[in-house]
Structure 1
């Protein structure tokens, strides 16, 4: 049996680090079973080696050659965040809508990398924003990793920002669990439902549990209800990981009338119409207040 090359071991370890997703499990598409049928085209795409990639394609390698688990070279280029390699593969006819057996798409891989230019490229070539079975949601992955630009691109292309998956909740919940403060802020300003998390566990529960003080502040500012109880009957304050968060939750001032009006207007408009506030005949200061600017 031929010895395993050191560079293959290095690449495998890198993939396992990159795809430690959703509960600490590495999805099957990136585990050892799929390594035996990886091609030089996959390796060149993953490493961002443009010239070898061109040479391999010119030598007759099929642009959409797949591993046993359905991973294409385009998946690899997107995972590595290599825009020029992805462009080359697409120019040679690569399928931007390829889905692995575990639901991974090039768009999902691009969101893992956090390269917003790459995400934009794939969005313009693919009509599949997430697989029908919802195993791997690009929006949830971008939110979890704190890739704010990618989140905004996906929402602008019509992805449901309040989509709740059974295992991971909503994108806002994912961002709160991972203390992705900037991403939480952008999602809230976009107009997502501040109460939608994972079942009865709200984003506020998640933020309090992991110790995200700034995230808790943002959630409260956007109307999060600290009195909601999760499936265990606990409020967010009961789950607070430190005294400062617990104090913040227990001593929060009552919501003012003007804040209630802002929240009501924003809820009425929803995500799809929130940016049309400026079409209303209102003073600039009101626009600024309603849009949290």
Structure 2
């Protein structure tokens, strides 16, 4: 058992909410830092112990802006874990609402990952800036779009703000399959469905890479996005992106929407070329069955050889296991 005043014991008392026992031991131990440089304030904020948090600030004058080794403040902890009462208290005591932890994450960004509307509202009301960006170029709006909560998105701003790769929240929502969020961004925030990232790729291309068939149907059928539109930098269509990533069902979806099966990139490579190059057997088989079987086409020949070789290898593995 840890002796009185041991940092681990003090942290455990905070975690368990044992204020009386903590008071007694602090008379002996004074302050405390844990293995990650946490103070008792960090621990109290993380576990939502408002009474202990207030005691440590008011009786011991502990610094509410104390940072641990990841530069987290107690406000980061409280916001991250959704403890509104602790967030309220720290802000009322003057905690910096937009303090930065490692990788430039703010308390508001961390609250957005937990989808706690009340905490987000409190932070915004106290002046938290949803447009601040972390080291990846994400702001709170990007994070909320990725998490897929339409109610939280209504508290935030700037639908077409971009991260370091030029990706908008609308693109984030589409590539993650959050069609309801994409609709909200269009209807309430006038997001641009044809915005391009730094490589000139649109939401349609990013959805093809991640295999979001429903999102692709929405973009093409409901919004009228050209199914064969090319990314400006790579010159790839959504079909070529999907084949390159081996997204067989997405290739099928795109073809059903009228995508040109014979489209090629700048190096004259077709979807079949790209599926073969990635050794995507299922995708290769599907494309072969979709009409790319010309015996004079070198790609078709290579694809057939690749499929046959892998089938032989699979049969061999099955035999060995048997």
Asked whether the two chains share a fold, i.e. TM above 0.5, the reply is: yes
**2:244 matched to 1:209?**
yes
Are 2:112 and 2:143, in contact at CA under 8 Å, matched by a contact in 1?
Answer: yes
Q: Are the structure 2 counterparts of residues 151 and 216 from structure 1 closer, same or farther at C-alpha, using a change threshold of 3 Å? A: same
Q: Are the structure 2 counterparts of residues 135 and 102 from structure 1 closer, same or farther at C-alpha, using a change threshold of 3 Å? A: farther
Could you report, residue by residue, the CA deviation over 1:221-277 in whole angstroms, capped at 9, with x for unpaired residues? Answer: 33311221113311113333324421354279xxxxxxxxxxxxxxxxxxxxxxxxx
1:235 counterpart residue number:
270
- Structure 2 gap segments, 5+ residues each: 1-32, 43-67, 294-322
Are 1:238 and 1:246, in contact at CA under 8 Å, matched by a contact in 2?
Answer: no
Taking the aligned partners of 1:81 and 1:168, their CA distance within structure 2 comes to 31
Residue of 240, 246, 264 corresponding to 2:287: 246
- Partner SS, residue 64 of structure 1: coil
Trace 1:60-71 onto structure 2 (pairs within 5 A).
60-67=94-101, 69-71=103-105
Deviation at 1:136, TM superposition (A): 4.2
Taking the aligned partners of 1:121 and 1:249, their CA distance within structure 2 comes to 47
Trace 1:123-138 onto structure 2 (pairs within 5 A).
126-127=157-158, 129-131=160-162, 135-138=166-169
Are 1:236 and 1:249, in contact at CA under 8 Å, matched by a contact in 2?
Answer: no
Residue of 84, 93, 96 corresponding to 2:118: 84
Residue of 144, 153, 160 corresponding to 2:175: 144
Are 2:160 and 2:192, in contact at CA under 8 Å, matched by a contact in 1?
Answer: no
2:144 counterpart residue number:
110
1:193 counterpart residue number:
226
- Structure 1 gap segments, 5+ residues each: 9-33, 253-293
Deviation at 1:108, TM superposition (A): 0.6
Taking the aligned partners of 1:132 and 1:112, their CA distance within structure 2 comes to 13
Q: Are the structure 2 counterparts of residues 131 and 222 from structure 1 closer, same or farther at C-alpha, using a change threshold of 3 Å? A: same
Are 1:228 and 1:236, in contact at CA under 8 Å, matched by a contact in 2?
Answer: yes
Taking the aligned partners of 1:70 and 1:106, their CA distance within structure 2 comes to 12
Taking the aligned partners of 1:89 and 1:151, their CA distance within structure 2 comes to 25
Structure with the bigger RCO (C-alpha within 8 Å, sep 6+) is: 1
Taking the aligned partners of 1:60 and 1:220, their CA distance within structure 2 comes to 58
1:155 counterpart residue number:
186
2:127 counterpart residue number:
93
**2:67 matched to 1:36?**
no
2:107 counterpart residue number:
73
Are 1:143 and 1:151, in contact at CA under 8 Å, matched by a contact in 2?
Answer: yes
User: TM-score normalized by structure 2?
Assistant: 0.60
1:281 counterpart residue number:
none
Could you report, residue by residue, the CA deviation over 1:122-175 in whole angstroms, capped at 9, with x for unpaired residues? Answer: 1xxx23621487544222222222222222222332222222223482211111
Could you report, residue by residue, the CA deviation over 1:150-208 in whole angstroms, capped at 9, with x for unpaired residues? Answer: 22222332222222223482211111111122222222222222123432111101222
Structure whose alpha-carbon radius of gyration is higher: 2
